Amino acid sequence: MFTKSKHSKLKFVQFILLIGAVLIALSLVANRVVWAQEGGEEAQPETEPAPRTPSLHPGIPLLDEDGNHVLDSGKPVSTIKTCNNCHDAEFIASHSFHSDVGLSELTAPGLTGNGRAWDTSAGLFGKWNPITYRYLSPEVDKHTDLTTADWVKLLGVRHVGGGPAQYSRSGQELTLMPPAADNIEASSIDANGNLVAWDWAESGIIEMNCFLCHLPEPNNEARKEAIHAGNFGWANTATLLGTGIVNQEGDEFIWNAEAFDENGELFPEFVGIQDPTNENCGQCHGLVHVDPQTPMVLSGCTPEQWSTITTGQIMSPQKIAESGINIENKADIRRSWDIHTERVVKCTDCHYSLNNPVYYQELTESRPEHLQFDPRRIDLGEYLYRPLHEFAKGASAQGALAPSLDNTLRTCADCHEAETTHDWLPYADRHMVALACESCHIPEMYAPARQMYDWTVVQTSGEPQVACRGVEGGGETFATALVTGYEPVLLPRPNEDGAAPLSPHNLVTSWYWVYGDPERPVPARDLQAAWLDGDVYHDDVLEAFDANKNGVIEPEELIIDSERKEVLIAGKLEGLGLENPRIAGEIQPYNINHNVTHGEWATKDCQTCHSEDSRVTRPIILADAIPGGVMPTFVGNGTTELNGDVVKTKDGALYYEPRAGADNLYVIGHNKVSWIDWAGVLIFLGTIGGVFTHGGLRYWSARKNPPQEHEMKTVYMYTVYERLWHWLQTAVILLLTFTGLIIHKPDMFGAFSFSYVVQVHNVLAAILVANAALAFFYNIASGEIKQYLPEPRGFFNQMAQQAMFYLRGIFKGEEHPFEKTPEHKLNPLQQVTYLGLLNVLLPLQIITGALIWGAQRWPNIAAQVGGLPFLAPFHTLIAWLFASFIVMHVYLTTTGPTPMANIQAMMMGWEDVETHPVAGD
């Protein structure tokens, strides 16, 4: 009876529930039909974006460090144990520079070769960076900055786990390390600056976090929070928060049994494992904005967006004009942030796993020349078992980690057939040798980037003075700033071909205190103690720096610009036990390879570089002032050279000025050898001066003593061919001189298109050479050549005689000393001049010109004779001599019987000449 009623009660509840469910279902169906009642809320159900490709990954059980199911143990998930069932997770973790970050390459301080005396590796674990400032101490001493545990807590958020978050420097599991305050690997610094023991067994370690890169929406914030809290063991589990697999209640993580099927495997909808997307990479590497519809905004300047803060690189298909950033002239910037992202090329398409059989390509150096493609490769199953997590990389200026993988990345030319798209570009090959593609295709950065860190001072927040380039005002988040963008500086960067083309960079300059010998950066803790008492400045610091005495140190006052200030702070640091504290400065280059553009947005205008104000040598500001007057040194790793000058301006700012000439680079239209130009101008003006003097004297003397009447006769002096040759040569040489001048000084002739003028110059040169060759043949074949050949005997006397005529006789109206006849058109002076002109100057000009023209076709030949830096100025010098010759030549044509006689003869062929009695007859 009792049971029955209970039963019927249950049935009744079930019935009610059933009715409810049906009603809900009906209302849902009805809702579909009468959507119009809901107004626009359900508008356009058809146009929802297509769903992402579903994950192919099968359901998996999540296992803990002991290999037990997390549902059973309640312990954190072990990525290695979980994934190791199908993939060789240990292989993956041990073959990944993202995981290793320098652990396996740790050296004694100062041996990394980048110039810093305290770096112990080339990776995040061991390489100090003024941007993050904190220093991984090699061992425990009284100024220990970061222990291993502190490093993980602070910098581990940009580390995928494994490596130094799991293993000691000797390769031991950190959990096996007994807590010890005197062991740098088993200790931590507490709030009071004291070393205390760190229990790895309690904190746990961080295995390489597969979820961070392979889930569509990993919870990186929760992961970072766990890491900062020292809750390392749960960091990877925290990454799953929000997926429904695990929930957080208070400080506890509770696995959700609903997410697993009866075999303990995750239901398909909880398995989102996929190839890494740009957003996955962007969690550590920089700002990634995928959705083209939502306007992008800058979200402050945190180091997580590493490439964005160091260079301004942003990966987004969005057009800049449509972003939400307050960019100067934004409406006109109709290009996307990154053409590759716009065209759906993903990070992993270029930075692919090096044994991915789809992408893998043997490097050119090791590939036999007869082989385009080697089809023998690992199959997909093998790849999925052991996907190498060493990724193709370039050779970035700061990323010195895993140098053996440098330039495994596809280059631009691996995908792009640049020749076909650059047929408009004169000297395309030459340009491509001298310039990296990025130099023209990343002409400008439209987001701000870091310019300077001044760690010699601290703000009351404990942060350094920071300056950004490409932005005006607006504070740290740039919310109200005007973003102006900046032009990257071009620095030579060796590529895998052994060349060092110019490529775009940002330069980040830093100043900071170092102490001791060998030197080390002053720990942030001590620096803050030297400046601050809690969150206010020490009185004597305030007194020294508060120039306007208003009780506050304003940003512009916060700089060490006098010896007094320097001594004060140094003294305070010394008081903290830091020996010999002194200011050091460094310049870090950051290369820029992303945010590529194309077409009209790439640099196409020749005069961008081929002009006085050339892009190639345009200086870039490093800092508005120089803390402590210390000139910063260059910190690189051999992949970028700083070959220009660091220059201090009058108002105390610091600039870097590239030097184009330093790299065997001669930018036509920009570079000049000034003494050659000056000498050329002097010779040219001297000639004009001489001609005017001589002409004036002739005019004056002709009035004083009228010319003697000579016996004249009219002879057929020049054949039609000779005249044609002459005037063609005249026109071509004049045009060559003029176009050459435009190419040499494009700024003075802004009306002309540099590129067209260059092409016209080349065509003219070809005509000149052809004309000269034909004339040479004509002179040889007709025997006219002997007119140019002086008779050896008495030649110098004859020259002297002719010279005396020009210096004296001509003023007295004397006869020309040598009769001009069709057989002897040239007087001895002309003979020697033309001999020089035609045998020396013209061939030299043709050869240097041809070599400059051929600098891209036969670069070796040009290089052997000194390359453009020698050839181009030489060509210029000869051009000046030619110009001077033309002046002299034209003037001397007026020294005939009448001023116009010679010119007329060259036009008409017939000339009135003086008759001379034939000598010896």
**Which residues bind to another protein, rule: CB under 8 A?**
33-37, 39-40, 43-44, 46-47, 49-50, 52-53, 277, 290-292, 317, 319, 321, 334, 336, 341-344, 424, 599, 720, 723-724, 727-728, 731-732, 735, 756, 759-760, 762-764, 766-767, 907-910
Least distance (Å) between residue 46 CB and another protein? 6
Closest CB to another protein among residues 697, 907? 907
Shortest distance, position 728 Cβ to another protein, whole Å: 5
Smallest distance, another protein to C-beta of residue 337, A: 11
Residue 459 sits at φ, ψ, to 5 deg, of -80, 170
- Distances from the Cα of 52 to the Cαs of 49, 272, 281, in angstroms? 9, 10, 18
Nearer to another protein, 174 or 901 (CB): 901
Least distance between another protein and beta carbon 421 (Å)? 9
Nearest to 912 by CA among 717, 707, 720, 719: 717
In whole angstroms, the minimum distance from the beta carbon of 29 to another protein comes to 11
CB of 827 to another protein, least distance (A): 24
Torsion sign over Cα 259, 261, 263, 269? negative
Q: Which residue type does 485 have?
A: G
287-288 and 314-315 strand pairing: parallel
CA atoms 151, 153, 154, 155: torsion sign: positive
Among the listed residues 501, 463, 517, the one whose alpha carbon sits nearest the alpha carbon of residue 591: 501
State the minimum distance, in angstroms, from the CB of residue 424 to another protein: 5
User: Which is nearer to another protein, 286 or 828 (by Cβ)?
Assistant: 286
883 SS3 class:
helix
Q: Which two tokens stand for residue 239?
A: 């990454």
In this structure, what are the phi and psi dihedrals at residue 836, rounded to the nearest 5 degrees?
Answer: -70, -45
The least CB distance from residue 716 to another protein, in Å, is 8
The Cα 536–Cα 523 span in angstroms is 19
Give me the least distance between CB of 669 and another protein, in Å please.
Answer: 18
Residue 33 or 257 having the CB closest to another protein = 33
With a CB cutoff of 8 Å and minimum separation 6, the contacts of 32 are none
The minimum distance between CB 329 and another protein, in angstroms, equals: 14
Q: Which is nearer to another protein, 319 or 525 (CB)?
A: 319
Task: Report in angstroms how near the CB of residue 40 gets to another protein at its nearest.
Answer: 5
- Please report where in the chains the tokens 């043709």 appear, as a residue: 846
We find the least distance from the C-beta atom of residue 893 to another protein, in angstroms, to be 15
Q: How far is the CB of 721 from another protein (least distance, A)?
A: 10
Closest CA to 595 of 732, 446, 489: 446
700 vs 776 by CB, closer to another protein: 776
Closer to another protein by Cβ: residue 1 or 36: 36
Q: Where do we find the tokens 């409406």?
A: 331
Alpha helices in 215-305 (DSSP H): 220-228, 235-238, 278-285
CB of 47 to another protein, least distance (A): 6
Q: Rounded to 5 degrees, what are φ and ψ at 647?
A: -120, 135
Measured from the CB atom, is 702 or 906 closer to another protein?
Answer: 906
Residue placing its CB nearer to another protein in the complex, 622 or 733: 733
Cα–Cα dist 228/206, whole Å: 12
Decide whether 188 or 243 has the Cβ nearer to another protein. 243
- The count of residues in the chain is 921
How many of the other CB atoms lie within 10 Å of CB of 229? 14
What's the chain's Rg over C-alpha atoms? 40
Minimum Å gap between C-beta 775 and another protein is 13
Instruction: Give 207 or 722: the residue with its C-beta nearer to another protein.
Output: 722
Kind of pairing between the strands at 582-591 and 536-537: unpaired
| Cβ atoms within 10 Å, residue 298 | 23
User: What's the closest the beta carbon of residue 910 comes to another protein, in angstroms?
Assistant: 6
Min dist. Cβ of residue 389 to another protein (A): 23
- Which residues fall within 8 angstroms of residue 784, CB to CB, at 6 or more apart? 722, 778
The residue among 714 and 839 lying less far from another protein, judged by its C-beta, is: 714
Question: For residue 892, with 0-12 CB atoms within 10 Å meaning exposed, 13-18 middle and 19 or more buried, which class applies?
Answer: middle
Collapsing DSSP to helix, strand or coil, 914 comes out as strand
C-alpha distance across the termini of the chain, in Å = 164
Which pair of structure tokens corresponds to residue 812?
């007295």
Continuous segment of H or E residues that includes residue 6: helix 2-33
Closest distance to another protein from the beta carbon of 777 (Å): 17
Q: Which residue, 85 or 294, is less far from another protein as judged by CB? A: 294
Q: For residues 45 and 551, which CB has a smaller minimum distance to another protein in the complex?
A: 45
Write the secondary structure of 80-125 as one string of H (helix), E (strand) and C (coil): HHHHCCCCCHHHHHHCCHHHHCCHHHCCCCCCCCCCCCCCCCCCCC
* Whether 441 contacts 427, CB under 8 Å: no
386 or 726: whose CB is closer to another protein? Answer: 726
- CA dist 338 and 311 (Å) reads 14
478 to each of 292, 310, 317, 465, 832, how far by Cα in Å?
A: 21, 15, 21, 16, 73
Cis-peptide into 792, omega within 30 deg: no
In order of 609, 687, 695, 889, 900, the CA distances from 807 in angstroms are: 48, 15, 11, 16, 20
Residue whose CB is less far from another protein, 631 or 900: 900
Q: Which H or E element spans position 439?
A: helix 437-441
Strand-pairing partners, residue 471, are: 483
- Choose between 323 and 762: whose C-beta lies nearer to another protein: 762
Q: Which residues is 590 bridged to in the sheet? A: 506
Query: In this complex, which beta carbon is closest to another protein, that of residue 242 or of residue 909?
Result: 909
